[in-house]
Amino acid sequence: MTALDDDPGGPLLVTPAGTTVVWTDAILASADRLGALQVALHLDLRRVNAADHLGGVSMHSVIPPLEQARALCADAADKMRLVAEQYSSAEQLNEDLQRQLAAMMATALGEVLPLFAALVILNPLPLGVLAVGGWLALPDDGEGRLATLRDWMLAHPQLVTSPEFVRFVSLLATSIDDGARGATGVPFWLSPLFSSDDNGVASGALTVATLGGVFGMFHESDVVVERVRLETPASAPTGARDLLDRVPEVNQVRIETYEAPGMPTRYAVYIGPTETFSPFATTEPWDMTSNVYGVAGLSPGSLRAVEDAMVDAGIRSGDEVQVVGFSQGGLIATMVAASPDWNVVGAATYGAPAGNISLPDGVAGIAVRNTDDFIPALAGPQLDHHLVQIEREAFAGDTAPPTGIAAPAHQRFSYEATADAIDEAQSQAIRSQLSELERFGDGYVENGGSITVSTYHAVRVN
Amino acid sequence: MPATLLTGVTSLADTPSLRATLEQQFALLKPVLDHLRHAALEPSPMLSEDWRGPAAESAAIFTRELQTKIGAAESVIDDTLRSLSAQIAYLL
């Protein structure tokens, strides 16, 4: 794990809950302050008008300068809102056009795939020579050519660490199903007719799972979960960074039980990130199989493990639950929050590929993504807007991402820096959600209660 | 001195009634002045290190304009309150 000495991240981008308008935290905070000042000046004007109606001294000279100051604030706040709305609309239009074009291209590519396969089958020798020749042309420094490729990728992290690459991945995620349709003979110009609620992300992931299954990949299995530790911490979490810091690794699930006399028992469930990136399932449920199954909307092993742990911790369907997760943990946290089996009232996710999952009303919290982290883009664009969406470029401007680390913008240290920036945010949209998340565990220890932490480890069986 | 001469705008008949009105006006205006003085000392609503280039210039222009207008309102209200104070004192 690498700590970042100086924060290389860009400004926070905020999409308040229930909207699709993207603001920077600075502009949103300015609009908040302007709004508050305008309201205060409006109240001042009401007092002045009330004084005027009493008779006595005339207030006619007082009203114009006050009204001018109020109007100036209102005008500036309106202009900020307009700029944010216009930027968001233009960006959305641009993305929609790119997505339609990508879908048509994928369908067209899918159409020629059978021809390509036939070419390979009918002319195996020249294509085989070409492939082997290309492979042998790679230098071998003693660890094999695959290691050469890996090392080259690690030395050039900027290739996969940019908002442009993230957009490419997002377009790819929503185009896989179009490619599959093209392969079955659907003409490319018909692809816009096959739109779905999630832009085909789930069916694309299902396609990947199915095709991978042909080669023995993405094999789901049963899971067993075991409580490995029980302890009592001192306090409930405060802030975005503290929430992230409590997300476990290795032992994949942490459940905090909040109990106090006269207060409802509540539970905070923290879910860890992917532990292995092999597409071949072993004993680790926090793997690529769970990622693909999760994005496909199926029942990944890690989700079943979390739900088993929740039952073991004594959580019943009506109990108030807050879920927190990083990476795959964020995906599973979102799936738990979306499930009618649980009463999730708060959620915080970091770098979660979960944009295609619809949450119910009544869930407070934040969904955090680095805009140069391609992992969340594997679930396509963010479609659900129940949570406040917070984005930030982890390596902004001229800052080069660190070498020797796979997907640096997805690493925990990058999200720690973003979480620190969130804790410093000034906009009401962010501050109010952080307050909601903090309130969840407030007062339990102070009222003579306790917080108990259970840590769980899950493995695949079969 | 008759009350009408003091206010210049009313023709209230009795001094206690006029004084009560002026005191009410004073009570209504004083919090406005306090608020405006507080607002004048507050950092600009647009204050941010994230503003860059033309946006930073616009924010600076807006801040100056807002300070001018709040200052003007503060000044007028201050004058009005001084006038009210003087008249209330006179009617005591």
What is the pLDDT, as a whole number, of residue B2?
34
Residues in chain A: 462
Q: Kindly state whether residues A146 and A280 are assigned to the same domain.
A: no
Please say if the pLDDT value at position A26 is more than 90. Answer: no
Q: Kindly state whether residues A69 and A136 are assigned to the same domain.
A: no
Contacts of B76 in chain A (CB under 8 A): 61-62, 65
Considering the domain boundaries, does residue A215 fall inside one? no
Rounded to whole angstroms, the Cα distance separating A329 from A390 reads 17
Provide the pLDDT confidence category of residue B48 given band limits of 50, 70 and 90.
low
Contacts of B69 in chain A (CB under 8 A): 65, 68-69, 72
Q: Kindly state whether residues A278 and A129 are assigned to the same domain.
A: no
Examine the fold and report which residue of A45, A73, A92 is the final residue of a domain before the chain moves on: A92
Q: Which residues pair with A350 in a beta bridge?
A: A326, A368
SS3 at position B1: coil
Look at A62 and B83 and tell me if their CB atoms are within 8 Å: no
Tokens 């069916």 correspond to what residue?
A203
Closest CA in chain B for residue A12: B50
Examine the fold and report which residue of A37, A72, A92 is the final residue of a domain before the chain moves on: A92
Q: Note the pLDDT tens digit of each residue in A74-108.
A: 998 888 888 888 888 777 888 888 878 887 787 77
Q: Note the pLDDT tens digit of each residue in A199-212.
A: 788 888 988 999 89
Please say if the pLDDT value at position A399 is more than 70. Answer: yes
Considering the domain boundaries, does residue A16 fall inside one? no
Considering the domain boundaries, does residue A13 fall inside one? no
The mean pLDDT of A348-360, rounded to a whole number, is 95
Considering the domain boundaries, does residue A155 fall inside one? yes
Considering the domain boundaries, does residue A246 fall inside one? yes
Considering the domain boundaries, does residue A213 fall inside one? no
Q: Which residue, among B68, B80, B84, B88, would best test binding to A if mutated, counting the most A CBs under 10 Å from its CB?
A: B80
Report chain A's mean pLDDT, rounded to a whole number.
Answer: 89
What is the pLDDT, as a whole number, of residue A2?
46
What is the pLDDT, as a whole number, of residue A5?
56
B6 or B89: which carries more pLDDT confidence? B89
Q: What percent of chain A is predicted at pLDDT more than 70? A: 98
Q: Kindly state whether residues A268 and A314 are assigned to the same domain.
A: yes
A75's CB contacts (< 8 A; 6+ apart) are none
CB A375, CB A292: distance < 8 Å? no
pTM: 0.83
Considering the domain boundaries, does residue A403 fall inside one? yes
Look at A26 and B50 and tell me if their CB atoms are within 8 Å: yes
- CA contacts within 13 A on the Cβ side of A363: 30
Q: Kindly state whether residues A108 and A64 are assigned to the same domain.
A: no
Examine the fold and report which residue of A184, A199, A214 is the final residue of a domain before the chain moves on: A199
Report the domain count for chain A.
Answer: 3
Q: Kindly state whether residues A172 and A136 are assigned to the same domain.
A: yes
What is the pLDDT, as a whole number, of residue A223?
97
Lowest mean pLDDT among A106-115, A166-175, A230-239, B81-90: A106-115
Domain that holds residue A195: 103-199
Question: Which one of B25, B36, B45 has the shortest CB-CB distance to A57?
Answer: B25
Provide the pLDDT confidence category of residue B5 given band limits of 50, 70 and 90.
very low
Q: Kindly state whether residues A183 and A227 are assigned to the same domain.
A: no
Look at B45 and A44 and tell me if their CB atoms are within 8 Å: no
Look at A65 and B76 and tell me if their CB atoms are within 8 Å: yes
